[in-house]
Amino acid sequence: MTQNIDGLHWRAGSREIIELHGNINRKRCFDCGEYARSWDEDGEIPPPCALCGGMLRPDVIWMGEGLPQHLLRLAYHAAEQAHVFFSIGASADVAPAAALPLIAKRAGAHVIAISDEEHTQTLLADIWLRGRVNDILPALTEQIMQRGSSIL
């Protein structure tokens, strides 16, 4: 699950992703909520929905909007089922997603926080890898790849 809206997880090859805050690369209708497969780049701005004629918008959660409840339920369930839960780069400021590591920990998961600053997520974590995510993740990935399944 991710709060990122940039589609990076998709481009990296992940397919089972819960994009809590949406994806800037998708468009959906304000009125009916359906996703737009395409639109006329040279037509009306904002483009109308092909199904209902409503306005299309980026498929992201804007300030003040709630998260889609079905995605939040999926995220809570995934956190409850996790054996290991990584909290990567999160500052624990954005609710309700900030509660996910706590939900995982209460369900028995080992929580690993990767962050360069101390905050709620790092304090509840079983392991805090302090530093820049851009430095730590490649090094961690390399270690896992070198050791294979023996590290797990």
Q: Closest Cα to residue 104, out of 82, 127, 73, 128?
A: 82
Q: Which residues pair with 128 in a beta bridge?
A: 113
Token pair recorded at residue 144: 């896992």
Q: Is the separation of the CB atoms in 123 and 138 below 8 Å?
A: no
Out of 9, 21, 70, 110, pick the active-site residue. 21
Long-range contacts of 42-45, Cβ-Cβ distance < 8 Å, separation of 24 or more: none
Rounded to whole angstroms, the Cα distance separating 151 from 111 reads 16
Within 10 angstroms of residue 136's Cβ, the number of other Cβ atoms is: 17
Q: Closest Cα to residue 110, out of 78, 86, 88?
A: 86
83 is catalytic: no
Q: Looking at the annotation, which residues are catalytic?
A: 21
